[in-house]
Amino acid sequence: MSQREQFRTRLGFILTTAGSAIGLGAIWKFPYVAGQNGGGAFFFIFIFFTFVLALPLMMAEFAIGRTAGADAVTSFKKIAPGTKWYGIGILGMVTTFILLSFYSVIGGWIITYLGKIFTGELIGLQSEEYALLFQKTIENPWLSLSLQFIFILMTIIVVGHGIQNGIERASKIMMPALAILFLILVIRSVTLDGAVKGMAFLFQPDFSKLTSKAVLDAMGQSFFTLSIGVSVMITYSSYLPKTTNLPRSALSVVSMNLLVIILSGLSIFPAVFSFGLDPDAGPVLLFNVLPTIFSQLPFGMFFFAAFLIVFFFAALTSAFSMLEIIVSVLSKGHLDKRKKYAWMIGIAIFIFGIPSALSYGVLSDVTVFGKSFFDLADYAVSNVLMPLGSLLIAIFVSWKMEKSLLFDELKRGSKLKRGAFQAWYYILRYVAPVLIVIVMLDVLGVWRR
């Protein structure tokens, strides 16, 4: 969205917000974080956070955005003039800056595999050989950096031009395509020998093994995957007409995203167990498993290419939203300044992301706080900055904004009942702040023995 234009349809808004939400978080991050945290119990806690925190917070961001009708920083200045609450918008800009710096590394990995399909390198390997080949590829510093750059470049060009309309149209094809390709993948995966073990891993919770870190990861994942706490949803909803049903829109986005997460889990874990791979492989998990599943399908490489293209699209539409919120604040709606800021910020993000891109190669031995640069950036964003932004937004909405105005805002275009509104309001006012603070104490090691 370039100037203060508006979404023409509710579907357009939902597709754009779902475009921000559905991305690497659901497809790449969920399986590996669930894998690291023992599966089932993590999954259930994640669902809990999705509905108790992320969904109400998404509605809160929608309410702020539509009330103010401005970018991430100006929105706070309009609603609470003369106060420092606009710092939430700045926090969101810093968070998405760091986020895109490592997100783009994975974007580059997707291009890597696309290239490999066309060179025929992926045909006829065993599952460990795929993992080795992938490891060798991402170790290459120049390749990683150039592909990361290409991903950022594409983001810069789209955000700089503000050609979101085209994206909206493309989403109408890409999102259903994503679901269909995933379904094919799921069918193959759950019919593999030993698939049941993978399903049990994901759906049979063993709460006795749950750690405080798993709970923090689950909360972080619920914010990450729905783009919550960084004012992206404020920015997008600022372009909404007053007639759009906000609660229903939020519910649609959450459900679509959850569907992708479940499809992703159902395609990855049965295969992981069937091929005897390690669910705890970390960020490379998806990339190690996918080629093996596809290689066991008729026309596998064709489907794999199609899947990667849709996956890449999903990652890009999320990346747009990260750069968009920074550029929309800086350019203040001036179309002529968008391009300049998109380039400046995009290049800065690339430079900042270089250590993350090299974390799987030349810098693999360098650690800060016991983590590689990549893992540190990911941890800071998912487990510290996004929960912090969410905490502040919950407090801002429920303690600083007028309750009756909030009710009016959410009621416009919807049939919201008073009781449901009250529940939402008190969740934000009491439950969310307390819960987020308690879970976040794990960052300081309070819960670890």
Enumerate binding residues for ligand PFF (CB under 6 A).
Answer: 20-21, 23-26, 96, 99, 224-225, 227, 230, 232, 318, 321-322
We find the least distance from the C-beta atom of residue 449 to ligand PFF, in angstroms, to be: 32
Q: Quote the distance between the C-alpha of residue 244 and its chain's center.
A: 24
We find the least distance from the C-beta atom of residue 151 to ligand PFF, in angstroms, to be: 13
Q: Which residue number, 25 or 361, has a Cβ lying nearer to ligand PFF?
A: 25
Coil, strand, or helix at residue 246?
A: helix
Bridge partner list, 371: 368
Residue with tokens 């849709």: 310
Q: Which residue number, 346 or 413, has a Cβ lying nearer to ligand PFF?
A: 346
Closest C-alpha among 271, 227, 215, 2 to residue 103:
227
Q: Which residue number, 36 or 318, has a Cβ lying nearer to ligand PFF?
A: 318
The answer to whether 431 and 395 have CB atoms below 8 angstroms apart is: no
Q: Which residue number, 264 or 288, has a Cβ lying nearer to ligand PFF?
A: 264
We find the least distance from the C-beta atom of residue 421 to ligand PFF, in angstroms, to be: 26
Q: Which residue number, 122 or 314, has a Cβ lying nearer to ligand PFF?
A: 314
We find the least distance from the C-beta atom of residue 221 to ligand PFF, in angstroms, to be: 9
We find the least distance from the C-beta atom of residue 21 to ligand PFF, in angstroms, to be: 5
Closest C-alpha among 46, 57, 55 to residue 88:
57
Closest C-alpha among 41, 97, 39, 118 to residue 285:
39
Q: Which residue is nearest to ligand PFF (CB)?
A: 25
We find the least distance from the C-beta atom of residue 25 to ligand PFF, in angstroms, to be: 2
Bridge partner list, 368: 371
Q: Which residue number, 232 or 427, has a Cβ lying nearer to ligand PFF?
A: 232
Q: Which residue number, 292 or 321, has a Cβ lying nearer to ligand PFF?
A: 321
We find the least distance from the C-beta atom of residue 34 to ligand PFF, in angstroms, to be: 14
Separation between Cα atoms, residue 351 and residue 152, nearest integer Å = 11
315 contacts: CB under 8 Å, gap ≥ 6 = 23, 24, 103, 106, 107, 110, 151
Question: What Å distances lie between residue 76 and 86, 91, 380, CA to CA?
Answer: 5, 12, 24
Coil, strand, or helix at residue 124?
A: coil
